[in-house]
Amino acid sequence: MLRPHMTRTGVLLGLLLTPPLIAVMYVARTILGLPFSPFDLFEWLTRILPGRIVIGGIDALAAVLTIFGLSLRTASKTAEQMLALALFTGGGAGVAAVVARLLATTRLRDRNPVTWAVGASAGVGAVVAILTAGVRPMGSLAPLWPASIWIVLAFGAWGFAFGRAWRALHPSALPGRGARISLRDAVASTPARSTVTLDAADRRVFLVRLAGAAASITVVGAALALLQRRTAAPSAGTPNTALPPRPGAVDPAPGTRPEYTPVCDHYRIDINLFPPHIDVAAWTLPITGRLDRPARLTLEGFEKGAYGPAHDHFITLSCISNPVAGDLIGTTRWTGVSLKAVLAPLGVQSAARFVTVHAADGFHETMPLDRVAGDERIMLAYHWDGERLTPGHGFPLRLYIPDRYGMKQPKWITAIEVMDHYEAGYWVVRGWDETAQVLATSVIDTVAIDDAYEKDGRRFVPIGGMAYAGARGISKVEIKVDGGPWIEARLRQPLSDLTWVLWRYDWMFAPGRHTFAVRCYDGQGQPQIAEDQGTYSRGATGIHRLDKRLGGVT
C-alpha cells in the first residue's frame, strides 16, 4: 500500500545521508583536488540568478552578521559556505523525497529499490556535473572527465545507501520480483493490520544506528579534511614591510585599527567560495585585441621587470559592499607593473578604446584606454607585502585602479583584451554602479576611556579612528559630541596618497552617556555624504555615530 509516511521517510533519509556525502566530497577535494559539488552548485546559482536576487542575498547576509555583532571580514565567507551546505542538504532531502515517492508507486514497487535509487541519484549527479563544469576551476584540480565521473560516482554511492536504507525500512514495498500487483488488488487482499514491516521499535533502532553511522562519517571526514588544510596552509606571520618614518606624526589613539594590514588579516570578498586553482608553471597572460604585436606574458617576466619597472605603493582597498564602519577594508603594500608600460610596446591601434580584463572565475571588468594611458598607478600587481599574492587574494596577478572599489579590480587574471567597444563588467551587468568611485567615509574606532590622561588639571580621553576617500585623500576630519559643534581632529600623516588616514581627538572628559559623531572632507574639500544610504548600488554613505556611557575616570 502507498503510505503517506513514505515521503517523510525519504526526507529523513535524505537529511541523514547528505552530510556524509558532503564530508566525503570535502575530503576528496582537499586531498585529491576533486570537485566539491555543494560549493560548485552554489557558485553556479549565484552566476545565473538575476542580479537583484544576488544583491538581496548579499544585503541580508550582511544584516544578519551585523545583528549578531560578527565581523564581515572574518565571517562573510564562512556564512556563505554554511548557506551553500544548508542548500545542498536541503536539496538532498528534496531529491530523497522524490525518489521515495517514485519507489512507493505501483509501477516501481516490485523493482529493486537499490537499483532505482542508484540510477536516479547518479542521473542527478550527471546533471550537477554538467551545470557546474563552468565553475569547476574554483573547486577542483581534476580534468573535466575524471571530475565528472567522480561526481556521478559520489551521487550514485549516496543513492546506494538510500536504497539499502529504504529496503530495510520498507520491506513490504517489495512484494516480489515476479508478478506485479495493482494498488486496488493490494488493498482488497491485504488485511488492514497485517502489513509485513519493521515494528516501531525496530525502525527507531535502525534510524538511530543510521544516524550514528552518518554522524561518524561526517565528523571523521571533516576532521581529516581540516587537518589536511591546516597542514598545507601557510602560517599567518607578520608584515614584511617596514613603514616609512614620519617624524612628528600624530600618535593614533589607543584602540585605533592598525595602520597597516597584514595579508592574513586583509578582507577577501569575491564571487567564489573556493579561490581558483592556477598552476603557476602553466600560467601565462595573453594580451590580445587591437594590437599590432599581441603578447603572452609570464609571472617570471613580471617579477624580473621584463615588462616595465616595478612600482611599490601603500594602497587602501575597500569593498563597495562595506557598510559604514564595516571592516571590509584594508591597507597593504602592492607591487606591480604599470598597465600603461605593459601595453606600450605592443602597438595599440588607433581604433582601440577600452581594455577588458578577464579572470579565472569568470569575473571581468572594462575600463577606458584613455584612463590607462593617463594614470601610471593603474597596475598589474603580483606581490602583496613583498610576497607573491596568496591564492585567496588573486595569485598570480590582480589589477589595481586608484579611487575605485574592489568590484572594479579583477583578481586571478587570465587574459587582457584591447577592444574598440565597451562591455559592461561583471557587477555592472548585475546592477552595481558603473563608475564605482570610492565615496568618502570616516569611522570612530575607539573612545579610549581606559587611557584617559590629565593635563593642566583636566582629564582628556583619546578618541580615534579612520577616514578614507580613495585617491582623493583626506583634508579634514571633524568630531561632534552630543549637540555640540563640529571640532577639527588631528590627522596622522598617511602612508601614501592612496591610503586611509588615521585621526585623533583628545576630548575633555565628562561622565554620563554621550553620542560621538565623525565626518570627513576629501582632499578636494568636499564633505562626505551625510545622508544614510545602503551599499547598493554606489556604496554606503552616512555619518558614523557611537553611543557610550562613561563613568568616572581614576
pLDDT tens profile 192-242:
443 444 566 677 777 777 778 777 777 776 676 566 555 544 444 467 888
Assign 181 a pLDDT band (cuts: 50, 70, 90). Answer: very low
122-136, 247-261, 465-479: the lowest-pLDDT one: 122-136
Pick the CATH number of 266-429 from 3.30.465.10, 3.90.420.10, 3.40.50.880, 3.40.190.80: 3.90.420.10
Answer yes or no: is pLDDT of 316 > 90: yes
Name residue 482's amino acid. Answer: D
Contacts of 32 (CB under 8 A, 6+ apart): 142
Is-cis flag, bond preceding 172, omega within 30?
no
Alpha carbon of 158 to those of 83, 120, 164, 297: distances in Å?
21, 10, 10, 45
- Degrees to nearest 5, angle at CA 438 with 437 and 441: 150
Instruction: Compute φ and ψ for 480, nearest 5 degrees.
Output: -130, 135
- 59-110 pLDDT, tens per residue? 888 888 888 888 888 888 888 989 999 999 999 999 999 988 887 775 655 5
Region 51-64 average pLDDT: 82
- C-alpha cell belonging to residue 504: 585623533
154-168, 175-189, 477-491: the lowest-pLDDT one: 175-189
Average model confidence (pLDDT) across the chain:
87
- 332-356 pLDDT, tens per residue? 999 999 999 999 999 999 999 999 9
Closest CA to 360 of 489, 260, 483, 274: 274
Q: CATH 2.60.40.650 residue ranges in the chain? A: 441-550
Listed in order, strand segments (DSSP E) in 295-348 are 295-297, 310-318, 329-338
3-state helix, strand, coil in the chain (%, to 5): 40, 20, 40
Q: CATH 3.90.420.10 residue ranges in the chain? A: 266-429
- C-alpha cell belonging to residue 205: 533502532
Is-cis flag, bond preceding 396, omega within 30?
yes
Give the DSSP H/E element, type plus range, for residue 179.
none
For the chain, report the end-to-end CA distance as a whole number of angstroms.
80
Answer yes or no: is pLDDT of 174 > 70: no
Answer yes or no: is pLDDT of 158 > 50: yes
Is residue 315 helix, strand or coil?
strand
Closest CA to 57 of 68, 71, 42: 42
Instruction: Compute φ and ψ for 270, nearest 5 degrees.
Output: -155, -170
Assign 187 a pLDDT band (cuts: 50, 70, 90). Answer: very low
Assign 553 a pLDDT band (cuts: 50, 70, 90). Answer: low
- Residue 214's pLDDT is what? 76
d(CA 426, CA 36) in angstroms, rounded, equals: 24
d(CA 521, CA 468) in angstroms, rounded, equals: 9
Pick the CATH number of 441-550 from 2.60.40.650, 3.90.76.10, 3.60.110.10, 3.40.50.1820: 2.60.40.650
57 vs 394 pLDDT, higher one = 394
